Amino acid sequence: MALQNGSLLSSDRKCVRSPRMKNHKLIVSQSLIRSYRASIQDELQKHAYNFVLCDPGLPDHPIVYASDGFLEMTGYSRDEVLGRNCRFLQGRDTDKRAIVEIREAIREERDCQIKILNYTKAGKPFWNLFHLAPVFSQQDGRVVHFVGVQLPISSKVAARKDGHLTGLELSFDELEFEEHFDNPSCKNYHLSEEDKQRAFAAVKAVLQELANSSCKGVSSMRSKSFSEGVIPPGFVATSLLLALTRIPHSFVLTDPHLPDMPIVHASLEFLELTGYTREEVIGRNCRFLQGPDTDLAPIEELRSSISEGQTCTIRILNYRKNKEPFWNSLHISPVRNSSGKVAYYAGIQVAVSHSSEEDEGRARMQQLGTLGAIKVAVRSIQTGPVLRKSKTIS
C-alpha cells in the first residue's frame, strides 16, 4: 500500500501485480499446464460465462485464467488481469463483510455465493453475484484452483434476458452515489432464484470442463477416502498455502515424519533459484541439490542437527538444474503447528557469492525473518479437513 501524507492510496483502479510475479506469463501458463491438458484454454473459451480461475499456491492468489466475458464485464484486457489478485474489482464502498466471507470460504476450501459491490476499470460500481468454488486434486487432495463466476445484477427487470448475462449492465445510473450505498433497499434489490441458479449452473459447467480436461484428475469434491480422514502424505491446506506464499524468499518445508524427509512445499523463489519446477521437487529429498563438488562435512552436521531437532546454519555448494553451482547459506529449523508439536523442518536458502560481513549480516536477517514468517504461517490453525496428528521427533 502506498502512503501519501498519511493516506493510503487505494490501488483499486490500477492493477498492481505482486513484484514477485515478474515472470507472470510463464508462471500463469504453468499453473494451468500442471493440472490440465494444453487444450484447456480453448475448451474454457467455449463457455460464455464471466469467470476466472485463481491459484492459491502462487503469491497473492492470482488469476491464471480469465474468460472473455469477465474481461468485457470489467473493462480490463487479459494481460492486465493475469497474475493479479482479484481485489482490483473491489473499491471504496465494497462491503468489508463480503470480502471477509469470501476469504473465509477460501480458507475453509468451500463454496460461497455472495452479492458484492465491484468496480469496472473505468471506476463504475456494479453489484455482482459472485460464486466461488474450489477445484480439488484427486491425487493429493489439495485445492489446485478456485473458480470464481460473476453475474452482474441489474436493477432493471426489463433488461434481463433469458440467456447469459454477458457484458456489463450498469445497475443504478439513476441513483445518487451516496444514497445508494447506505440505502438498505438498494442492497436487497432483486436477487432472484433464477439468478442464483444461473450462477450455480455456470460454476458447474466450468468445473465439469476442468474435470474433463484434467490430466491428473480434479473434481469439485475431494476423494471419498480423504473425506473419511485418510489424508495423503504431503497434503498442504489452502489456509497454510496462502500464508506460506506471502513469504517472498527461497525456502522449502520438509516433512520429517515421512520416509526420507521429502519436500512438501517449495516457494516460488526456491524454484527460481534452483531452476526446477514444482513437480520436479515436491516429494523429493533436498539432496538433489548436491553435486560433484559438494563437501560432505556440512551435510553430516545438517543430518545430526535434524536428528536432534536442532537448528543449524551451513554453507554448502549446491547445483541448479542446469548444473550451474552456487554457494548456499542454508538455515534449517524445526517448525511447530497449532498442536504445539513439530510438523515440518524449514530450509531457508540464501545464495551467497563472497562472504562479506555485510552480506553475512543481511543473509542472516533474511533467514531469520523468513523463518519467523514460516513459524507464524505453520502455527496458524488449519481450517478445512482434519489433519493427522504429528508425532514428535525422537
Residues that bind another protein (CB under 8 A): 1-11, 14, 16, 19, 92, 96-97, 100, 103-104, 107, 177-178, 181-182, 239, 243, 246, 248, 311, 335-336, 338-340, 361, 364-373, 375-377, 379-381, 383
Q: C-alpha distances in angstroms, 392 versus 42, 293, 386, 389?
A: 49, 34, 18, 10
Give CA–CA dist 299/287, Å, rounded: 9
The end-to-end CA distance of the chain, in Å, is 45
CB of residue 337 to another protein, shortest distance in Å? 9
Q: Which is nearer to another protein, 230 or 365 (CB)?
A: 365
Let me know: does 107 contact 242? Beta carbons within 8 Å.
yes
Place of cell 511447530: 336
Give CA–CA dist 82/54, Å, rounded: 9
Q: Which is nearer to another protein, 12 or 280 (CB)?
A: 12
Q: Which is nearer to another protein, 108 or 280 (CB)?
A: 108
Q: Which of 215, 193, 235, 198 is closest to 40 using CA atoms? A: 215
CB of residue 297 to another protein, shortest distance in Å? 23
Q: Which of 316, 311, 320 is closest to 328 using CA atoms? A: 316
CB of residue 246 to another protein, shortest distance in Å? 7
Q: Which is nearer to another protein, 268 or 289 (CB)?
A: 268
Let me know: does 123 contact 13? Beta carbons within 8 Å.
yes
Q: Is 215 helix (H, G, I), strand (E, B) or coil?
A: coil
CB of residue 280 to another protein, shortest distance in Å? 28
Q: Which is nearer to another protein, 217 or 340 (CB)?
A: 340
C-alpha cell at 72: 468485457
Q: Is 382 helix (H, G, I), strand (E, B) or coil?
A: coil
Q: Which is nearer to another protein, 7 or 185 (CB)?
A: 7
CB of residue 286 to another protein, shortest distance in Å? 21
Let me know: does 268 contact 318? Beta carbons within 8 Å.
no
CB of residue 51 to another protein, shortest distance in Å? 25
